[in-house]
Homo-oligomer: A and B are copies of this chain.
């Protein structure tokens, strides 16, 4: 006997299964719409009058897509109500992307006949409502645990180290913890976190939250279940963790070495301070977007290297953006296999399916195309040099939110382009891959093979 609730659940589930990607897009659009309306309320501004549509839309998109690009000074322009709305939008956006990307992954893995490790209900054949609930519960638990932990550490530091009252310290702690775990990069200081560049009690908890959020739900679930049995980790977890570690080490060395003697950024700090700042600014492009250094004064090499880190991004089905670390690593292993002359592409003891390689290639190339097209459009709209424009476009697409300072100068058209980039960058890769994977179809005949010359 079915109750009407169960019937409704069954209906929603069937709709989800038929058009999962469209539903994700609609959900995010709805959240941005609600956020825009809330931010336009006069109560959301600290000054008189309401916010105009474009500004409200820009910041609602930036918050829901957990990007963190801003055209106004967050602590000055918005009222406390406005800040709380932004915080709510960040939480909805971060929770939404983590949940929905995990569910899409579940559908894809199921379709591919791979055993899912996302929920305990994975043994049943259909993607049941129980599984959906399991994912939501898991994401909720991880989010709350991490955010509380980091918020507590930050609150203590703000209260004890900076003489803030406990109420204000708690507010600052919660806001920056949520903003960090969801890789949003919104800060309640006009210069982002530049004032805390050499304070490890602020920088390290925030870096931890950013990395944690960026690993993605599938990795956390597996870590929780088989913490010590790393040999039994799935390919996805092994790949994400090892590449994250590798990119953090390389990024730290790169940023620190490039900026070592630049007085505009970290040149005036002592050696531990330089290393801390270098580490922090190698975490931030992946893809939280807090600034602890001023990118408008950074060296060209740092900007370019940061663009690469931003473009790669973080783990799948987490709060990070970019093309995702597994996409990048897959392409790396393709090169290794080719150079070794091997028939199969292998990584961490697993053979990689050719379809996965082609999907990674598709995501990477279409992303390059989107960033290039937007950059071309933006250079026509501003007088800023190409490197800064490229930096801002990559930052928007990879939902990073680092800024070389030109976002605030952009015309309305320029802002609309960034809004489009943030939305596309947030939802494009995950919906594309799941749509592709779910639509895979075979043909009854195959064409004869051809081989053009390459290179």
Contacts and interface: CB of A to CB of B under 8 A. Distances in A.
A342 B450 contact: no
A443 B347 contact: no
Contacts of A323: 455
Interface in A151-179: none
Contacts of A239: 452
A349 interface: yes
Contact of A440 (B341, B349, B430, B447): B341
A327 B454 CA distance: 5
B358 A218 contact: no
6 contacts: A324-B455, A335-B361, A343-B443, A353-B449, A353-B451, A386-B387
Contact of A362 (B324, B339, B344, B379): B339
Contacts of A89: none
User: In the complex this chain forms, how many copies of it are found?
Assistant: 2
A235 B452 contact: yes
Interface stretch (A139-147, A223-231, A277-285, A302-310): A302-310
Given A341-B439, A372-B304, A379-B300, A451 B112 contact: yes
Interface residues of A, number: 89
Contacts of A366: 335
A331 interface: yes
A338 interface: yes
Contacts of A447: 344, 346, 349-351
Contact of A441 (B343, B347, B387, B441): B343
Nearest to A332: B365
A363 interface: yes
User: Which 9 pairs, one residue from A and one from B, show the smallest C-beta to C-beta distance?
Assistant: A350-B450, A429-B455, A235-B450, A341-B439, A386-B387, A316-B453, A433-B455, A300-B379, A326-B452
A386 B304 contact: yes
B358 A446 contact: no
Nearest to A359: B454
A226 to B, nearest CB: 16
Interface string A415-455: 00000000000001110110010011111001111111111
A57 interface: no
A359 B338 contact: yes
B430 A455 contact: yes
A343 B379 CA distance: 39
A338 B362 contact: yes
Contacts of A308: 372
Contacts of A316: 452-455
